[in-house]
Amino acid sequence: MKQKYMIRVTVLALILSGWGLFIYQYFQFKSKDKYHGILYQKEAPNFTLTAHDGKKATLSQFRGKVTLIVWGYTHCPDICPLTLSMLRGVMNELGNKQDQVQVLYITVDPERDTVERLKAYIPHFHESFIGLTGTNQDIEKVAKAYDVFYINHGDSYGRSEYDTWAEYQMTHSSTIYLVNQRGKLFMTYPYNKFDSKGIAQDIKKVLSNGGEH
């Protein structure tokens, strides 16, 4: 009798644990499904680069805000300006919440993207956007920390092939990184997720829930 009772208890426990796992996975799925971007929870690697106002800027100084990190270069003919225009749309969608968001544009072309060049280029898209540059070694270090890939075709193919030094192009990762208020790398947006309304909705959720899944 006791053995049958124990078997029933064991079976019931397995059933309940199975339902518990199902419910947990269901709500985990629903939680992940509620965001437009791809969830990516880990500590955001800190870095210090030179902002387009000539001052040093460190990622950690933007704690308390949602930070969007984007990579590009000012001589880019297409994707980079489109990305910045899309991010301007994000800020417009945010309305009075946009002062709680910081966009950081890190150049992959520090040789041409000087402080002066970034200062003339970045604010054209939004006055709050910050362009960041540094030495080649500085940029390489940050890119490696964020798994960002880029190639300087001026070096790959030889700058002598171009009429002027300024004509060479770059190939680089286009993913946008969202860092929450606590400095967590919370979400990423590959190019197929570039949508101002979708990203703005994600930011509003992160601002309201503190960046919790």
Q: How far apart are CA 186 and CA 180, in angstroms?
A: 6
pLDDT in tens, 123-162: 999 999 999 999 999 999 999 999 998 888 765 444 545 4
Q: Is 0.85 topped by the overall pTM?
A: no
Q: Which of these, 202, 43, 194, 66, lies nearest to 128 by C-alpha position?
A: 66
Do 39 and 187 meet the contact criterion of CB atoms below 8 Å apart? yes
pLDDT in tens, 26-76: 444 444 558 999 998 899 999 999 999 999 999 999 999 999 999 999 998
Query: By mean pLDDT, which of 3-7, 22-26, 48-52, 107-111 is the weakest?
Result: 22-26
Numbers of helices and strands, H then E, in the chain: 6, 10
> What is the reported pLDDT for 30?
45
d(CA 99, CA 66): 10
Q: What span, in angstroms and rounded, lies between the C-alpha atoms of 183 and 38?
A: 17
